[in-house]
Chains A and B, each alone.
Chain A
Amino acid sequence: MSKKYDPLKPNFRTLAWMLGPSIILLCVYLIWPIIESFRLSLFDWNGLDKSQKYAGFANWNELIHDPLFWLSVKNSFILLIVALLIQIPLGLSLAILLYRGGTRFRFFKMTYFFPGLMSTVAIAILFKQVFDYNYGLLNQVLQSLNLDFLMQDWLGDKKLAIFTVALLVCWQYTPYYMLLFLAALNGISSDVEEASAIDGATNWKYTRFIQIPLIKGAIVTAVTLITIGSLKYFDLIWVLTAGGPESSTEVMASYLYQMAFKSYRVGYASTIASALFLIVFLTAIFISRTTRKVREA
């Protein structure tokens, strides 16, 4: 048995050289912080002191009885549900329309993708002005159309604010999923389209029975991405409302940020971070399980 170089069977040293750097980076910036967060969740620490006070499960106990935390969980899931109900159907419809339009619709493809190109912070600052009750573009437009009864305090009304935010998130992210679905649609062979046309499939039937089943993998991916993205959503909310008014738009990540950086409770914030991790992880597994049938059918 002579040792021959076989690129398909790299030896340990090659593997170490190729994977080593990324594994080290993952450990330093991902795995270790997670372990550290779980460890810190057992401590009472303000983030400044040299010493950390061991507190056992006091933080976890507080978390379970913290109504604000549960409100933030609820709000995170509102974001998730609104995102699933709007981004998937809307993204899919737009993708199908753009696909049908072909090159003639190139202008729309670019226009629709525009929100996805903007920085989140820019979107937040822009829409803070748009949603302003007194001077905001939205209310001014409504007023000029004599639709005064529709004028709302979009971000200041505690019942409305979370839905305003959720819709804005949809505006921002639908283009991504539109693009994802469009790419998947373009991947369907034209033979399939011709064959179904010969068999007499109408446009709607072709979409319903051919296109959508063939891109279900992309749809499942989108659902998973939306789930994870919504549950840990932070930046737009932080700049737009900072969780207010009256905590009505507080989500898990903004609450954890508030605790760590505003209230100087890094120990408790780590508990929230750990809980957020568990919730995202379990939800992702749940989605993966429930969509397995769809994917493997």
Chain B
Amino acid sequence: MKKFMNRRSSILLAAVGSIALVSGYAVVPAQAAGPITFWHIQSSGTGPKLIQDAVDRFQADNPGVKVEVSPIANDAFKDKIKVAVGADNAPCIFPSWGGGPLNEYVKAGAVIPLNSYLKKDNYKDRFVPASWSNVTFGGATYGIPVENSSIAVIWYDKKIFAKYKLKTPKTWPELLTVVKTLNTNKVAPFTLGGASKWPSIMWYDYLADRIGGDAFAKAALRTGGSFTDPAFIQAGKMLQDMVKAGGFIKGFNGLNYDNGQSAAPLLGGKAAMYLMGNWLYGDFVGAKRTGDFGFFPFPSVPGGKGDATNVLGTVGDNYYSISSTCTDKANAFKVIQYLIDDKSVTARIAEGRIPPVKGLTLTDPNTIALNKMIANAKGVQLWWDQYLPPEFGELHKNEVQKLMGLGTTPEKMAAAQEALAKKILD
């Protein structure tokens, strides 16, 4: 009997180990007064140096204040910050993309409104107006745009286009013709990081914008719209038609973005195009092949209600917010100001970025073209997964992956999204 008990208790112990996964919420360490803790996700390339240089300048001017900087990898950060905030142990300064997830922190009282700081010396006027919409909730602003302006464009291999005498398409039918020509020549038209999910939604979100115009805003803000609107069904159908027409490289739903897997076919000449954020330019810089690739805007859809100059993306992210548990909020704000002072702006431009401040002097032709596109855009739609509450964002990403894997229909996807919208957005 004793032996049996031992065995049983050892099984119990082994089994309970499985539950420890969510136990990250269990321990709540106390927040000590002291240094300004600062997390950021500019962890690759020259990112850490950009941040550290600015912080060093701050410290030189404010010798009494200590700043502890921690660079964290993008995906790890998203989980880490959640646990930290939930445990009342958030760093003083942390980045976000604005939109739905930041709004969760706002609703939980985890970040502070920055209006009073922004009013001082008209600091707010330094920035491009379009950069504030993603961090403003109920009239209060909760983040400072710093890093870059990011929009999704179609990158293409100039040599492949020249070889098959292709012109950059302006409309969806023209794009389909390009796809056809590339397929006959055994070049995959598009590569796609389908396993990472967020690259896929760029397709759906762009199509929905081109076809439906303000249909998304109406559905998301619940002002008379619905995610079952015909525009969304049509977007789903057109995307599935693109998949069926062989628009995407074989195995795209198994490719990750983060490890460079999805960009490899474009850099290796196996695929001709990639709908991706302008940050992909960094990969071309890294490969010393900036001259081989160009970009064009997402094509218009004939009969669509959306303006063809609209872009999908964000102006100014990452945004930096100050947590409500921060013990030295005034100095924390000063640190953020150093991140986007004139020296920081110059350093970021040198890295091919577009900082969200007015009156930039740009020299790189690609950056100038991108900046022009952003300036001319009638509207900037934030990525849906960042604009909407996280639960909806996840559902949306999963549904688009399923849609492109032909595992669901546009109608079923629309119904699933509308059902969740009714539950959490109404």
Q: Is the CB of A228 within 8 A of B26?
A: no
A215 at the interface (CB under 8 A from B): no
Contacts of A258 in B (CB 8 A): 394
Within 8 A of A (CB), among B93-115: 101, 104-105, 107-110
Q: Is the CB of B110 within 8 A of A48?
A: yes
Q: How far is the CB of B382 from chain A (nearest CB, A)?
A: 18
Q: Is the CB of B26 within 8 A of A32?
A: yes
A181 at the interface (CB under 8 A from B): no
A48 and B85 in contact, given A33-B23, A232-B17, A256-B22 (Cβ under 8 angstroms): yes
B402 at the interface (CB under 8 A from A): yes
Q: How far is the CB of A142 from chain B (nearest CB, A)?
A: 14
Q: A277–B85 Cα gap in the complex (Å)?
A: 26
A260 and B15 in contact, given A133-B254, A134-B249 (Cβ under 8 angstroms): no
B12 at the interface (CB under 8 A from A): yes
Q: A36–B15 Cα gap in the complex (Å)?
A: 16
A158 and B405 in contact, given A46-B104, A132-B255, A258-B394 (Cβ under 8 angstroms): yes
Within 8 A of B (CB), among A153-167: 153-158, 161
Q: CB < 8 Å: which of B20, B395, B398 contacts A29?
A: B20
Q: How far is the CB of A166 from chain B (nearest CB, A)?
A: 16
Contacts of A31 in B (CB 8 A): 16
B68 at the interface (CB under 8 A from A): no
Q: Which residue from chain B places its CB closest to the CB of A232 in the assembled complex? A: B18
Q: Is the CB of B250 within 8 A of A284?
A: no
Q: Which residue from chain B places its CB closest to the CB of A282 in the assembled complex? A: B15
Q: A241–B86 Cα gap in the complex (Å)?
A: 27
Q: A157–B251 Cα gap in the complex (Å)?
A: 7
Q: Which residue from chain B places its CB closest to the CB of A241 in the assembled complex? A: B195
Which of B264-272, B282-290, B325-333, B337-345 is the interface stretch?
B264-272
B261 at the interface (CB under 8 A from A): yes
A242 at the interface (CB under 8 A from B): yes
Q: A169–B110 Cα gap in the complex (Å)?
A: 40
Q: Which residue from chain A places its CB closest to the CB of B100 in the assembled complex? A: A264
Q: Which residue from chain A places its CB closest to the CB of B86 in the assembled complex? A: A47
Write out, one digit per residue, whether chain B residues 11-29 have a CB within 8 A of any chain A CB (1) or not (0): 1111111111111011100
Q: Is the CB of B254 within 8 A of A37?
A: no
Q: Is the CB of B109 within 8 A of A50?
A: yes
Contacts of A96 in B (CB 8 A): none
A188 at the interface (CB under 8 A from B): no
B278 at the interface (CB under 8 A from A): no
Interface size range on A against B: 35 or more
Q: A34–B8 Cα gap in the complex (Å)?
A: 17
Q: Is the CB of A135 within 8 A of B264?
A: yes
Q: CB < 8 Å: which of A224, A265, A276 contacts B19?
A: A276
Which of A3-11, A104-112, A267-275 is the interface stretch?
A267-275
A277 and B18 in contact, given A29-B23, A48-B82, A244-B197 (Cβ under 8 angstroms): yes
A264 and B391 in contact, given A47-B25, A156-B254, A280-B18 (Cβ under 8 angstroms): yes
Q: Is the CB of A288 within 8 A of B8?
A: yes
B137 at the interface (CB under 8 A from A): no
Q: How far is the CB of A5 from chain B (nearest CB, A)?
A: 26
Q: Is the CB of B254 within 8 A of A265?
A: no
Which of A85-93, A203-211, A245-253 is the interface stretch?
A245-253
Contacts of B254 in A (CB 8 A): 131-133, 153-157, 161, 241, 245
**A-B CB pair tally, cutoff 8 Å:** 179
B161 at the interface (CB under 8 A from A): no
Q: A247–B253 Cα gap in the complex (Å)?
A: 11
Q: CB < 8 Å: which of A154, A161, A280 contacts B15?
A: A280
Q: A134–B251 Cα gap in the complex (Å)?
A: 8
A129 at the interface (CB under 8 A from B): yes
Q: Is the CB of B253 within 8 A of A156?
A: yes
Q: How far is the CB of B266 from chain A (nearest CB, A)?
A: 11
Q: Is the CB of B20 within 8 A of A30?
A: yes
Q: A261–B25 Cα gap in the complex (Å)?
A: 11
Q: Is the CB of B23 within 8 A of A228?
A: no
Q: A257–B67 Cα gap in the complex (Å)?
A: 32
Q: Is the CB of A281 within 8 A of B12?
A: yes
Q: A273–B26 Cα gap in the complex (Å)?
A: 14
Q: How far is the CB of A218 from chain B (nearest CB, A)?
A: 15
Within 8 A of B (CB), among A220-263: 224-225, 228, 231-232, 234, 241-242, 244-247, 253, 256-258, 260-263
Q: Is the CB of B194 within 8 A of A245?
A: yes
B185 at the interface (CB under 8 A from A): no
Q: CB < 8 Å: which of B259, B391, B401 contacts A265?
A: B391
Q: A277–B16 Cα gap in the complex (Å)?
A: 6
B57 at the interface (CB under 8 A from A): no
Q: A269–B390 Cα gap in the complex (Å)?
A: 14
Within 8 A of A (CB), among B1-44: 7-8, 11-23, 25-27
Q: Is the CB of B195 within 8 A of A155?
A: yes
Q: Is the CB of A277 within 8 A of B19?
A: yes
Write out, one digit per residue, whether chain B residues 101-137 have a CB within 8 A of any chain A CB (1) or not (0): 1001101111000000000000000000000000000
Q: How far is the CB of B183 from chain A (nearest CB, A)?
A: 15
Write 10 A-B pairs (CB below 8 A) sorted by A numbering: A33-B22, A156-B195, A228-B15, A261-B78, A261-B82, A263-B395, A269-B22, A274-B19, A281-B11, A281-B15
Report which B residues bind A (CB closer than 8 A). 7-8, 11-23, 25-27, 78-79, 82-83, 85-86, 101, 104-105, 107-110, 194-195, 197, 249-256, 259, 261, 264-265, 268, 270, 389-391, 394-395, 398, 401-402, 405, 407
